[in-house]
Structure formats: C-alpha cells, structure tokens
Amino acid sequence: MDTIGLYRTTVGKKVVMAVTGAGLLLYVVVHMLGNLTVFSGPDAINGYGHWLREIGAVWPTRVALLACVTLHFVAAYQLTAKARKARGRYEHRRRVQGSYAARTMRWGGVIIALFVVYHLLDLTVGWLNPNGIPGEIHANVVADFQHWYVVLAYAIAVLALGFHIRHGVWSAIQTLGVTTSRVIGLGVAVAICAGFLSVPFAVFTGLVS
Amino acid sequence: MYFTEGSPIADQRVPAGPIETRWDRRRFSARLVNPANRRNRSVIVVGTGLAGGSAAATLGELGYQVKSFCYQDSPRRAHSIAAQGGINAAKNYRNDGDSVHRLFYDTVKGGDFRSRESNVHRLAQVSVEIIDQCVAQGVPFAREYGGLLDTRSFGGAQVSRTFYARGQTGQQLLLGAYQALERQVAAGRVEMHPRTEMLDLIVVDGRARGIVVRDLVSGAVSTHFADAVVLATGGYGNVFHLSTNAKGCNATAIWRAHRRGALFANPCFTQIHPTCIPISGDHQSKLTLMSESLRNDGRVWVPRDRNDTRAPNDIPEADRDYFLERMYPAFGNLVPRDIASRAAKNISDEKRGVYLDFADAIARLGALAVEQRYGNLFEMYQRITGDDPYRTPMRIYPAVHYTMGGLWVDYDLRSTIPGLFVIGEANFSDHGANRLGASALMQGLADGYFVLPGVIGDYLADAPFGPVDDSHPMVADTVSEVRGRVKTLLAVDGDRTVESFHRELGRLMWDECGMERDEAGLRKALERIPELREEFWQRVKVPGTGERLNQELEKAGRVADFFELAELMCVDALHRRESCGGHFRSESQTEDGEALRDDANFSYVAAWEYTGVGRPPVLHKEELVFEHVTPSTRSYA
Amino acid sequence: MKLTLRIWRQSGATGRLVEYVLDDLSPDMSFLEMLDVLNERLITEGQEPVAFDHDCREGICGMCGLMINGMAHGPEKATTACQLHLRHFRDGDVVTVEPWRAEPFPVVRDLVVDRSAFDRIVAAGGYVSVPAGSAPDAHATPVPKPDADTAFEAAACIGCGACVAACPNGSAMLFTAAKATHLGVLPQGQPERYSRARDMVAEHDASGFGGCTNTGECTSACPKGIPLTTIARLNADLLRAHTTRSDR
Ligand SMILES: Cc1cc2nc3c(=O)[nH]c(=O)nc-3n(C[C@H](O)[C@H](O)[C@H](O)COP(=O)(O)OP(=O)(O)OC[C@H]3O[C@@H](n4cnc5c(N)ncnc54)[C@H](O)[C@@H]3O)c2cc1C
Ligand code: HEM
Ligand code: HEM
Ligand code: SF4
Ligand code: F3S
Ligand code: FES
C-alpha cells in the first residue's frame, strides 16, 4: 500500500475526497434519520440525543467528522488550485454537458461548511437559538423554525447539500473505479433533502410543535 | 529529347536460389553489428508512418541510436493513420485456400507484372509475422464471437485475407507502432523531432550521412548526422493537388534525395481509387476516400441512361447498370482498383459520380450488421455530404490515392546512394504498376518491423565512416542551398498564392497524366509544367518570415518540388508506350478497352537519374525476371 | 452564405480576437476550407494568413482542433473541426474561433498549440512492451468479443486534445484513460496494466494537467465519443497499482 504515492496523484486526492465524502454522507444520513424522530414527539428526540451521549458516541463522531472535513477540504483545495492553473481561459465559452451540480461542487461545499458553523452555534451550542438550552432538542428545534428566515436558511443549505450529494455520490463511485448510472446520486440526494426538509416545514406549518 | 538512356541496373542484391528461402538466406548472410557496438551506430529515420514509426521503434529496440523526424506535431499523426480498410496477411485462418504463395501470386498479378518477384515473395512471407506482432502490441483488430480474428475480402483477391479494425485499421496499426516508438523515446534510444521538416540530404564522400531540417516552429535550419539515413516519408499523390492524401503529404524528402543522386523509379505509376466522395465545389481542399472494403457488400451502378436525372432511389432496377458485375463476373465489385476506376470514369463523369448501393446488403444482413461493419464510414459520408447512405446510395468517384513509384531500392531497401535506405510508400518496391488494397499497410510494416532491421546491420557493420560536422564543405554547401531556397521563396513577393499554383498544376496532371494518358496530352503537359514552374518562381507570394511558424512557406517549398517531380512523371508516362496497372495509355488497349501490356519492350523498372532542373533525365532500366509467375493478360472477368 | 469570424491572432506572448467577414461561402464547405478561403484572401491582401493545425481533413489524424463558439470542435456532436461543414451554421452567424487553451498546451501561433504533453503521457507507459519478432501466433490468445469491443471503443481516441480544451479543470484524464483502457482490457496488456496506469497518471499530473472531478465536459466534446467509463477504469487500475505491491 503506497498511500503517499497515491495521494500525490490527482486521482489519489480524489480518492481521499470520495472516502471522506462517503464518511460525511454516512453521518448526514444517520443524522437525517435521527431528526425524523421529531415526529414521534419531544421525548423520542430528546431521548435519542440523550442516548447518544450515554453510549459515548458523540465525541468519537465529532473527531471523525472533523478529520473527514479537514481532509475533504484540503484535498478539494489542492485540486482546485491545480485546476485553476491548468485550465484555459476563453474569450467565449459554452458548456456542453451542463450538469449544474457538477459545476457547483466547490461553492456548494463552502456553503455547506458555513451552514454547519451556523448550525452548530444554533442547535448544538445554542447561542443563536431562540430557546438555546442544550439537551432540550425538541424545544430548540421548534423555537427555530417558527421564523421563516431560519427555515429559509436551512432550506438553502439542505438544497446545496442535495446538489453536492447528487454529483458527489456518482463522482465518488466513479473515482473509486466503478461507473454507475447517475440516477443513484439523484436518488440519494432527493431522499436526504426530503428527510431534512420535512422537519423545518413540519414545524413551520404547525404539524410538529 | 525528353530523356536519355543510361546503363541498366545490374545488381539488385537479390540472393539466388529458390524463392522460398531467399529471405532467410539473405538474413543469414547479412553481417551483424554486435549489441555493444549498436549503441555507437546511429540511424536517422525520416517519417513516422507505419514504415518509419515501426522502423525507428525496432532499430531502437535493437540498440541503435535513432533520430526520428516528422512534420506533424506528433509522430502519431503520420498519414498512415488515415488508412481505413485493412491489412493483408497470408494467415489462411479461414482455410479458404490462402497461402504465402497465393498472396505472392495475387500481388504480382495485381501489380500487372511490373514488380520484382523476390521482393513480393518476401512481403508475403513476412505478412504473417506482422499480424502476430500487431496483435501482441494490443492492436484491436476485429474479432469474431469466438474471440478469434475476423477477416474480409479486398479487391484483386478471391480469399478473405484482410485483417481490419472497423474502418480505422491504419490508425490502430499506427498507434501500435507509435506506442512502440514512444517506448523507445522514453528509454532514450530514439530522439524524437516532431514539427521538423527534412529539406535536404547530406551526402559526404558518396555516402548519405545526414539531413538538413527546418524546425517548423522556430524556423531554424540545422543539420543532423548519422551512419545511415532512412526515408519513410510516404507517397507523392499530392502532386495532383486533390487526392486522398493528407494535406501535408509531400515529395520533398525523396525529391531532394533524388536530386542528390538517388534514382527515382516508375514515377508515373499512380493509383486512382474508385470509391471517393465526388468533388463538391471549387473550394475543395482534398478528397475523402470511402474504403474499398465497402465493395464487399456495396454494389456499384450507374443509370443505364447517362442523362437520367431521377434521384437514385427512383431509378428502378431495370434502369440500373451494375457495370462491374456485368463486365467482370468472376470478381464482380471486387476487381482491382485500376480496373474499377477506369470503368467508372468511362461510364460517368466527375460531377455526377456513380452509385455505391447498400440496399441489398441491408436487406440481406440487416441494418445493424451493416452498421457494425461500416458504421463509421457511413457516418463520415453523411458528415461530408449531408446524405444518409442507409437510405440513399452513396455517390462516389475515382480520386488519386497512392503512388506505386518512388525511390529505387534493391532487395536490401538500399537506394543508389550508399547509406540511404527507403521504406514504405516512399520506395517503389513491391506493388509494380498497381497496388492491391490492404497491401500498403502490409508493406510499410514489413519494411519497418522486419526487412530493414534485418538487413541494415550489413551496411552498418562497415561503420564508422569518418567524422562529419557542419564545417565539412559538402555539409556547408547543402545547408547554404537550403537557406538560399527558403530566402528566395520569401523574397519573390509576387502576386499569386501557392495554392493557386498547386491547383493549376494538379488540374493539369489530372487531365493529362491521370487515369488515362496519351502522347499528345503528355507532350502538352511537358510544355506547360516548365512554364508554370518558371512562373511560380517569378510570381509566388509567401508572406511572413522564415524565423517562425510559417505554414505558407512550408507549402511553397513542397509545391516547388512537385513541379519538378510532375515533369518527371510525365516523362516516364510518355516513355512507357504500353498500358499496365494504373498507367493507362489510350494508344495501348485491347479491343474491349482493357490495358494492353507490352512485355517485349517494357518489362522493366524505369529508374530515372536526375541531371538538373528542366534537363532531360537519364533512364536506367532494371529488367524484370519472372521465374515463378508467368506474365499473362490480367483477367478478372 | 455570409459569416462574421472573430479569430484569435497571436504571434508573440499575447494575442487578440480579430474580426473578418466572409461572403460567398458555400454550405458544402468544411470549416477548414472556409479558413483556406480566408487565408487566400489575406495573402493576396498582403497579410499573414491564420495559422491552424490540420492534416488528414478526415477526422482521424487528430491534428485539427479549434474552439468554435466556445465549443471544442464546434457545435456538431462527435465531429472534428475538419469534418464540420458550414451547413450547420446560419447565414449571418458570428463565429468565434480560439485555440485550445490549457496550461500544458501553450499557444504556438494563432490557433496552433503545442500538444507534446500527450506524447509524454504515452511514452510514460501507454504501450505493450513487445519488441518486434517476439510475438506468439496471433490466434494464441483469443480475446472475448466484449473485451475487444471495449478496447476498440477506447482505442478510437485520436489524441486531438478537445477533452483538455473543454475540461473546466484542464484535465487530460479522458485521453489518458482511453489509452489505459484500450490496453488494460486486452489480455496482451495485462502484465503492465497497473504500472501503466500509475506511470501515465504520474506523467499526466507532472505535465501540469488538472485533476478530473468528473464534470463530463470532455466526453461531450470528444469527437470519438470516448466514454467516461474509461476514467473509472483508469481510477480502479490506479488504486490497484498503489494498494498492491509497489513494484507492480
Ligand atoms: C485515405 C487512405 C486510405 C488508405 N487505406 C489503406 C488501406 O486500407 N490499406 C492499405 O494497405 N493501405 C491504405 N492506404 C495506403 C497507406 O495508408 C499508405 O500507403 C501508407 O500508410 C504509407 O505509409 P508510410 O509509412 O510509407 O508513409 P506515411 O504514413 O505517409 O508517413 C509519412 C511520414 O513522413 C513524414 N514526412 C513526410 N515528408 C517529410 C519531410 N519532408 N520531412 C519530415 N518528415 C516528413 C510525415 O510526417 C510522416 O510521418 C490508404 C491511403 C489513404 C490516403
Ligand atoms: C468543507 C466544505 C466542503 C467542500 C469545500 C467540499 C468540496 C467538494 C468538492 C470540490 C468535491 C469534488 C467534486 C468532484 O470531485 O466531483 C466534493 C466531493 C464530495 N463531497 Fe464535498 N465539500 C465539502 C463538504 C462536504 C460535506 C459536508 C459532505 C457530506 C455530505 C460532502 C460530501 C461529498 C461527497 C460524497 C463528495 C464526492 C467525492 C468525490 O467526488 O470523489 N462534502 N466536495
Ligand atoms: C433541517 C434539518 C436539520 C435539523 C433539524 C438538525 C438538527 C440538529 C440538532 C437538533 C442538532 C443538535 C443535536 C445535539 O446537540 O444533540 C444537530 C447537530 C448537528 N447537525 Fe444538524 N440538523 C439539520 C441539518 C443538518 C445538516 C444539513 C447538517 C450537515 C451538513 C447537519 C450537521 C450537524 C452537525 C455536524 C451537528 C453537530 C453534531 C455534534 O454535536 O457532534 N445538520 N443538528
Ligand atoms: S479522448 Fe477524445 S477529445 Fe480527448 S484526445 Fe482523445 S479523441 Fe480527442
Ligand atoms: S471534463 Fe474534466 S473533470 Fe473529468 S470528466 Fe472530463 S476530465
Ligand atoms: S485534420 Fe485530421 S482530424 Fe481534423
């Protein structure tokens, strides 16, 4: 196994992005499913959060997430820098393939990262949350999504995530050496968006309170 | 007086004895250079087509120091890449009665008995190894469902011995050679010089010792030296302006070598290919070939009534003349090119063309099978003409395609200048007066992978030949001649473009020295060409400077050489008062309009010696001896 | 028909778009024949003609390459610039023509660029090491037809560089992958399969091409329709090369 040698190549950097991206995706999926417990009432989601702390899942997850994000970001940055240098600049340019998701990976990623910072200050630390009491997950969430601008912010972020995943999943599989249909990425992205978005909309429309 | 006659060529370096073992015996008798010494022997190979690419790669593998040159930006783009149809080999994988001897026989007959038996036999022998070599390199030949190689038939043969890779056989074979070449580049055995044009040959003390080149990007004129020089610079069909050759194909390398003393053999033997896309207008810059393989399944016809203006699909069966099937029932649509071309020309004209129809094949095999065989050729046709050949028959017309003539070489591929070897289409060696389809690729690779590497050692065993460098008077002279020419071309600053001269020359050659030639026309051409040449040097306009990329300057140099060569072609065509293969003199035909050879007087190779611009060349004859195939009237009926 | 051309002219380090108007064009002309017509005019007017690369004019040598209205080889799918005909333009169109642009493809002059980086990538490993004369009989190794077809499809690459020109990352991965796939699926190419992937990618990166992020512009621009599956194959081979014994 020649990890350094692999990482030196552009393909290797992409492999790192794919693997860390997959880790992040796994977290997002679990998180999304966890969020759905909100529909089973306050006790369910609070209990779920409590249980996660009890079994000691929180810190190892945070460490892993941080590692993934860092590697993911560093590789993305290095690839972007190389591409910037390599790519040609035209007076007149038209895209043919035109996958919006594929072209917005970098900015999409940055939007997601900014959102996560906000999100942590909101629901984890509580500073930006109208309720803001750690542990009262249900109350915090409900307090948040009374406001249209919070819903909007979450919706934008989740859509950005969706786009990122739509291309990311297909791209990661391709990077790891298998070509599949692009539909898989679309399916995963739609499921994740729907799952995440259901919560703020349910709260905003009064379905969950 | 168009020419004078000199002494016949005595020695062709052909080993005596049974033809089947000549090549083995020659290889055994050739002296070798021991592996340690090969490192100190250098070879220049000009051209990176099938012949040059395979030769440079193989000489590199053997351990020689090789310098390789081409005018394109990469060796992979040599004109061989455009070959579509296939490559012959006497593998007899089909068990349909093929053999080395049959390929040998077909080729000698196909060439209308104007080729050297020993060379052709060797070519047929080596053909078998070529396929092995290419498959091992990963050339993706067409295969059957069982995983074995597929073959098809080509003109002039009744067996199925043509290996192919869809319509891209030349590309795939060339990429194989190119990859082998790049492997040697990486290994440091071959030094590659792309975008570099050879403008002259350096001959010192009677030996070819190097070349003068121009770097097409910087414009710098410089010299390269070696113990031997190999020319693999392809054919000269572009003399005709419109041909199926790539735009850059030129005669400069061989013509300059000819001017330095190499004899030029059979210059008038040019091949006109029957199935090309007809000319669409004055802007036409080149002609596109539709592979001969199409005649496997396509049927050629014209309307019975010359003035029939109906769309082809509206012409009922009864009003169509499938003239090849009618005139040549045994070979049908698969008669050799010279025969098909002339039949087509006699029966139709340049504008309307003739039809190549796939309706029967589609009905018989299904559109899918036809697409699998010819899909990319059909697409190409549609892109160029805007017509869909699955629905309407293709319109085709003959066009200049290949030149059988070239620098004279002996059995060892040596020209008449010691140390100058010539391989591939650039030499005259194997095809006589007409080349069979799928045999040029075979010859290029035979020369490059096997024949040249097998015999060049015999010459290099005598090296080193003494030092040469830029200060040698012969070298300095050659360089200053080249510089002077470049300077003159730029200095004329007249009022006519190079293109306009080339077009005029091409038209003249097509009319007077094309598919059919006669004495009056050739004499007319021989008057006009020198005038045109003079005019060129008075009136040509080449803008820009010689100090950087200047494509107009490149073209000017090439066209300048075409003038001189065109004259020699006409002299050769005029002197050969017989018809054979691609050379059809209207004065010499049978009652039913077939070529009438004159074996008593013209069973020889005409090798011409240069004596000066506009001066009568000297004819040297190499008498042809036929021991294994008896010359007969070619019949494909 | 009439077209207004905006053509990139460059003879030193920088260049600019220059406008030319051509009347009297025939729809049957190829794009390059139109440039021929323009050049004939420029020469008679005493100007220097537009330099552009071309040779076969049949879509097979890979020499031509123009960015036409921002699209590599122009608007027609699976068509090289030399095979593009004016019937695909409308009378009166304005057409911008630029050279391929990418850091590893420096402009030589006008529309001519230097693509020698492609040769270096092939030299790094795009071959099967089989010296002339050492081959077994061609039928010694049958090749299953599906593999032969996959190899052929990839081998069709003409090395034109449109993929690089179109790629937003300036990546030559499609070109590299086409060669790695052609040789990598054939039995003849197996012994060097993984070292080939490793060495070609290393040279690709060293030449200054960007990394592929699977945007797919390349395959849309490719005149031979080389599929993206080739890139996946190359990725798989590269992973294998770096995760097994390093001498492979
Ligand atoms: C459209 C077409 C289709 C064909 N199809 C078939 C077919 O199906 N089967 C078949 O057997 N034959 C076919 N032929 C014929 C065959 O392709 C050629 O005869 C053969 O490829 C010639 O190979 P070569 O190596 O001799 O020369 P080329 O491939 O022509 O190579 C010439 C090389 O010389 C270089 N060169 C030339 N002049 C100079 C110079 N002055 N300085 C430096 N370098 C120079 C060029 O750069 C190039 O690298 C076809 C020909 C054409 C035109
Ligand atoms: C720090 C912020 C982020 C940035 C800058 C970023 C950027 C990128 C970029 C540039 C790519 C490459 C696109 C491609 O190769 O096609 C990518 C791929 C990917 N990203 Fe992100 N991303 C970020 C965060 C995330 C997050 C939070 C997730 C988790 C859901 C994620 C999941 C993925 C996946 C699965 C891929 C595919 C990997 C691949 O193509 O090999 N990314 N990201
Ligand atoms: C709209 C939907 C979302 C809701 C309702 C939501 C809800 C929450 C809540 C309540 C917490 C705090 C849990 C706790 O402290 O126990 C949390 C933490 C977190 N969320 Fe979300 N979230 C949403 C979307 C997202 C998205 C899209 C991402 C990532 C891209 C994300 C990433 C995180 C992270 C990283 C944490 C911190 C986990 C930790 O403390 O270690 N969330 N989320
Ligand atoms: S992959 Fe396609 S676009 Fe790229 S060089 Fe090959 S043929 Fe051209
Ligand atoms: S466009 Fe570029 S990013 Fe990859 S898929 Fe093609 S090389
Ligand atoms: S000129 Fe050869 S591909 Fe266009």
Which pLDDT tens digit goes with each residue over B247-296?
999 999 999 999 999 999 999 999 999 999 998 888 899 999 998 889 98
The residue among B401, B417, B437 that closes a domain is: B401
C186 and C219 share one domain: yes
- CB within 8 Å of chain C, chain A residues 175-194: 175-179
Instruction: Specify whether B109 is located in the same domain as B35.
Output: yes
C33, C52, C108, C127: best to mutate for the B interface, most B CBs within 10 A: C127
Of residues B415, B432, B65, B103, the one with CA closest to residue B233: B415
Q: Are B427 and B359 within one domain?
A: no
In a domain, residue C106? The reply is: no
The closest ligand to the CA of B211 turns out to be 1
Q: Which amino acid is at C223?
A: P
- Classify strands B65-69 and B42-46 as parallel, antiparallel or unpaired: parallel
pLDDT interval class at A97 (50, 70, 90):
low
Q: B138: distance to nearest CA of chain C, Å?
A: 6
Q: How many domains does chain A contain in total?
A: 1
User: Taking Cα atoms as reference points, which of C101, C143, C124 lies closest to residue C195?
Assistant: C124
> What distance in Å separates the CA atoms of residue A46 and residue A63, rounded to the nearest whole number?
23
pLDDT of residue B625: 94
Q: For residues C69 and C120, state if they share a domain.
A: no
Helix, strand or coil, per DSSP, at residue B225: strand
Q: Locate the ligand 2 atom nearest the alpha carbon of residue A169 and give its number.
A: 35
CA distance C29 to C35: 10
Confidence of residue B375 (pLDDT cuts 50, 70, 90): confident
- As a whole number of angstroms, the distance between CA B165 and CA B438 comes to 12
Mean pLDDT of A162-172: 94
CATH number at residue B539: 1.20.58.100
Residues B519 and B585 in one domain: yes
Q: Is residue A26 situated within a structural domain?
A: yes
For the stretch B426-470, pLDDT in tens is 999 899 999 999 999 999 999 999 999 999 999 999 999 999 999
Pocket flag, ligand 1, residue B156 (CB < 6 Å): no
Q: Supply the DSSP string of B98-163, one letter for each residue.
A: --HHHHHHHHHHHTTS-S-HHHHHHHHHHHHHHHHHHHHHT----B-TTSSBPEE--TT-SS--EE
Domain membership of residue A19 (yes or no) is yes
**Is residue B637's pLDDT more than 90?**
no
Is residue C122 domain-shared with residue C158, that is, in the same domain? Answer: yes
Identify whether A106 is part of a domain.
yes
Q: To 10 degrees, what angle do helices B169-186 and C116-123 make?
A: 70
C110 lies in some domain = no
B510: nearest Cα among B293, B350, B618, B309: B350
CA distance B624 to B118: 10
Rounded distance, CA B154 to CA B334, Å?
Answer: 7
Q: Across residues A194-208, what is the average pLDDT?
A: 95
Give the residue from C157, C176, C149 showing the smallest Cα distance to C80.
Answer: C157
Burial of A197 (0-12, 13-18, 19+ CB in 10 A): middle
Instruction: Give the gyration radius of chain B's Cα atoms.
Output: 23
The pLDDT-based confidence of A98 (bands split at 50, 70, 90) is low
Residues of the domain holding B359: 273-401
Of C101, C212, C242, the CB nearest to A10: C212
Same-domain pairing of C160 and C206: yes
Give the number of other Cβ atoms within 10 Å of residue B322's Cβ: 16
Domain total of chain B: 3
One domain for residues C182 and C124: yes
Of the candidate ranges B177-186, B253-262, B391-400, the one whose mean pLDDT is the lowest:
B391-400
Q: Is residue C158 part of a domain?
A: yes
CATH number for the domain that contains residue B283: 3.90.700.10
C83 Cβ contact list (under 8 Å, min separation 6):
B380, B383, B384, C30, C57, C58, C59, C76, C223
DSSP string computed for chain C: --EEEEEEEESSS-EEEEEEEE-S--TTSBHHHHHHHHHHHHHHTTPPPPP---S-SSS-S-----EETTEET-SSTT--GGG-BGGGS-TT-EEEEE---BTTS-EEETTEE--HHHHHHHHTT-S----TT-PPPGGGS---HHHHHHHHHHHT-----HHHHH-TT---HHHHHHHHHHHHSSGGGSTTHHHHHHHHHHHHHHTTPPPP----HHHHH-TT---THHHHHHHHHHHHHHHS-TT-
Q: Could you tell me the CATH number of the domain that includes residue B267? A: 3.50.50.60
Phi first, then psi, for residue B566 (nearest 5°) are -55, -40
DSSP label at B238?
G
**Exposed / middle / buried, residue C20 (Cβ in 10 Å: 0-12, 13-18, 19+):** middle
- What is the CA(A172)–ligand 2 centre distance, in A? 9
Cβ–Cβ < 8 Å for B119, B429: yes
CA distances from C21 to B386, C32, C41, C43 (A): 25, 15, 11, 15
Structural domain that includes position A38? 3-90+99-204
Terminal Cα distance for chain C, rounded: 59
CATH number, domain of C231, equals 1.10.1060.10
* CB-CB contact of C214 with C228 (8 Å): yes
CB contact, 8 Å: C96 with chain A?
yes
Residue B242 inside a domain? The answer is yes
Residue C230 belongs to domain spanning:
115-129+141-243
Residue C248 scores a pLDDT above 60: no
Whether residues C39 and C152 share a domain: the answer is no
C122 and C222 together in one domain: yes
Partnered with residue B46 across adjacent β-strands are: B69, B231
Distance separating alpha carbons of residues B574 and B586, to the nearest angstrom: 11
Q: Are residues B417 and B519 in the same domain?
A: no
Contact C56 B246 (CB under 8 A): yes
Q: Is residue C18 part of a domain?
A: yes
Question: Do C188 and C228 belong together in one domain?
Answer: yes
Q: Is residue B143 part of a domain?
A: no
| ipTM for this model | 0.95
In a domain, C190, yes or no: yes
d(CA B80, CA C61) in angstroms, rounded, equals 9
Same domain? C85 vs C119: no
Establish if C91 touches chain B: CB-CB under 8 angstroms: no
- Annotated active-site residue in B337, B373, B414, B597: B337
Q: Indicate which CATH number applies to the domain containing C29.
A: 3.10.20.30
Q: Chain B neighbours among C 176-235 (CB < 8 Å)? A: 182-183, 186, 188-189
| Rounded CA separation C75/B126 (Å) | 46
- SS3 (DSSP) at B429: coil
CA–CA separation, C217 vs C178, rounded Å? Answer: 15
Rounded distance between C-alpha atoms, residue B612 and residue B246, angstroms: 29
User: Residue C247: pLDDT above 80?
Assistant: no
Q: Do both B204 and B332 map to the same domain?
A: no
Residue B436 DSSP symbol: P
Whether residue B481 lies inside any domain: the answer is: yes
Phi, psi of B127 (to 5 degrees): -55, -35
Q: Is residue B621 part of a domain?
A: no
The closest alpha carbon to B77, from C196, C116, C224, C34, belongs to C116
CA distance C14 to B578: 60
Q: Is A133 exposed, middle or buried (0-12, 13-18, 19+ CB in 10 A)?
A: exposed
DSSP state of A123: I
* pLDDT value of position C246: 52
In this predicted structure, the answer to whether residue C245 has a pLDDT above a threshold of 80 is: no
Question: Which residue among C157, C209, C213 is best mutated to probe the pocket of ligand 5, counting the most ligand atoms within 8 A of its Cβ?
Answer: C213
What phi, psi does A55 have (nearest 5°)? -80, 0
Whether residue A94 lies within 8 A of chain C, CB to CB, comes out as yes
Give residues with Cβ within 8 angstroms of B369, minimum separation 6: none
Q: What average pLDDT does the segment B567-578 reach?
A: 98
Give the C-alpha separation, A24 to A18, whole Å.
10
B161 is a domain residue: no
- Structural domain contains residue A209: no
Looking at residues A99-105, what average pLDDT do you find? 78
Q: Is A123 in the pocket of ligand 3 (CB under 6 A)?
A: yes
How many domains are contained in chain C? Answer: 2
Same domain membership, residue C122 and residue C66:
no
Average pLDDT of chain B, as a whole number: 95
Choose the final residue of a domain: B433, B460, B487.
Answer: B460
Whether residue C223 has pLDDT greater than 50: yes
- Let me know whether B295 and B384 are in one domain: yes
* Residue having the nearest C-alpha atom to atom 6 of ligand 4: C157
DSSP string, B254-292: HHHHHHTT--EE-TT-EEEEEEEPPP-STT-----B--G
**Residue percentage of chain C with pLDDT more than 70:** 98
In this prediction, residues A14-39 reach a mean pLDDT of 96
Contact present, B and A (at least 3 Cβ pairs less than 8 Å): no
Cα–Cα distance measured from residue B248 to residue C224, given in angstroms and rounded to the nearest whole number = 23
Could you say which residues from 225 to 244 on chain C have a Cβ atom under 8 Å away from some Cβ of chain B? none
**C36 contacts chain B (CB < 8 A):** yes
What tokens appear for A46 in the block?
């609070």
Angle, CA of C146, C149 and C151, to the nearest 5°: 110
d(CA B519, CA B377): 39
The answer to whether residue A4 neighbours chain C at the CB level (below 8 Å) is no
Cα–Cα distance between A16 and A30 in angstroms, integer? 21
Give backbone dihedrals phi and psi of B415, rounded to 5 degrees, phi first.
-80, -175
Stretch 103-122 of chain C: residues touching chain B, C-beta under 8 Å: 108-109, 112, 114-116, 118-119, 122
Using CB atoms, which chains have 3+ pairs under 8 A with A? C
For position A44, what pLDDT does the model report?
95
For the beta sheet containing B151-152, the strands, ordered from the edge strand earlier in sequence to the opposite edge, are: B87-88, B162-163, B151-152
CB of A62 shorter than 6 A to ligand 3: yes
Across residues B461-480, what is the average pLDDT?
A: 95
CA distance B372 to B257: 44
B631 domain-assigned: no
pLDDT at residue B304 greater than cutoff 60: yes
Inter-chain CB proximity B147 and C142 less than 8 Å: yes
Report d(CA B348, CA B204) in Å as an integer. 53
C124 with C64, same domain: the answer is no
- pLDDT (tens digit per residue) in B72-124: 999 999 999 999 889 999 999 999 999 999 999 999 999 999 999 999 999 99
Residue C147 lies in a domain: yes
Short-list B103, B450, A192, CA closest to C132: B450
